[in-house]
Structure 1
């Protein structure tokens, strides 16, 4: 095993923020810090991990509202999502106010990501897959060696992401799941943005939206 993962549900949305630790170096990353900064930092302390970056799957407030706070607090960089989600992050203050969510300032990530990019966590490498549909700039991170992926709000156990937000696209979301994620392998365990983990194989068999049976 080369990485250790702790899932920290944050905010009233119980969004699955993840802390990834490279066991070889003790360095790590926070994926999708939507809020509850102190809770995230306490989990990192318990893991004895030095956070070196923040990774974002997409620009919705429950996934990124605490990213800039953590960036300034820890002196680290934010990587992701893909640039098409810039309009979500640029309007964070308005979205938070409309939803009754704690205030968050707009920010610009240090690095936008694209299909085929990689990001590093300590000595570990995560592959980047652009999976639009829930949002236009949504990305997924895969640690191929340990067969685990962070899929944000693209796919859930038994469900898929909403597409009724601005620039959501249902057909595009289904294509992202079927053409970009499922080919990675049935044995991939994925951490969704909300709820329990599952595997791509389980969802191919049983998910009412994207199961193989729906596609003949």
Structure 2
């Protein structure tokens, strides 16, 4: 991994969603990716690492990934970047979905910047490529830090599994295309942080993932 990029994975909420604290070791400036819950803990983690948070990044609009984004943005005065605008309907539904799942009250928000495929986002002196990967949700994006060979993929891909597509506007065929055509070509050596569970590599999943590996799709 590029020594400039530092990452700490912080599972939050009852769903154990992987919120990622990412920061530039040179400048000490960082961001939270998918701040789904436990805001005090996320702030404390940044403070413990001496990280100055400068923005909030979002992969997609599901509750466990965005539950405290609006709260942190307001409290810390931070801009929000992502996801793709096709997930706006999920963000608008956030207060209702939080009630349905028994989560603490959550507020919807409008990002300062919706992201498109091919965009880039910066964190300190770091630059992440934005990859639009619809399927789990229509507006899901992935953040890829090319120098570190690291991707933060939200709920697109997991170790040994893939994202669900039975939610509104999910699409299984789109999800498989996103993984096979947009993620796997980045390289077998790419390590990825999934939205839940342990890290893996694209190569390991291409070889053995029963849903999207080469054997599963007949490659």
| TM-score category (smaller protein) | over 0.9
Matches within 5 A, 1:12-51: 12-51=14-53
- Secondary structure of the 1:62 match is helix
Q: CA deviation at 1:34?
A: 0.3
Structure 1 residue runs of 4 or more that deviate by more than 3 Å after TM superposition: none
Query: CA-to-partner distance for each residue in 1:103-130, whole Å, 9 max, x for gaps?
Result: 1011111100000000000001000000
Query: CA-to-partner distance for each residue in 1:6-34, whole Å, 9 max, x for gaps?
Result: 11110111000000010111000100000
Distance of 1:79 and 1:131 partners within structure 2 = 16
Q: CA deviation at 1:155?
A: 0.1
Distance of 2:68 and 2:92 partners within structure 1 = 14
Distance of 1:97 and 1:85 partners within structure 2 = 19
Matches within 5 A, 1:35-184: 35-184=37-186
Residue 210 (str. 1) matches residue 212 (str. 2): yes
Q: CA deviation at 1:190?
A: 0.3
Query: Alignment RMSD, CA only?
Result: 0.6
- Secondary structure of the 2:147 match is coil
The two structures have a TM-score, normalised by structure 2, of: 0.98
Distance of 2:5 and 2:33 partners within structure 1 = 14
Question: Comparing 150-159 with 39-48, which one deviates more in the overlay?
Answer: 39-48
Distance of 1:13 and 1:213 partners within structure 2 = 30
Distance of 1:102 and 1:190 partners within structure 2 = 29
Q: CA deviation at 1:100?
A: 1.2
Distance of 1:57 and 1:42 partners within structure 2 = 22
Query: CA-to-partner distance for each residue in 1:29-64, whole Å, 9 max, x for gaps?
Result: 100000100110111111110000000000001000
Stretches of structure 2 lacking an aligned partner (at least 5 in a row): none
- Secondary structure of the 1:97 match is helix
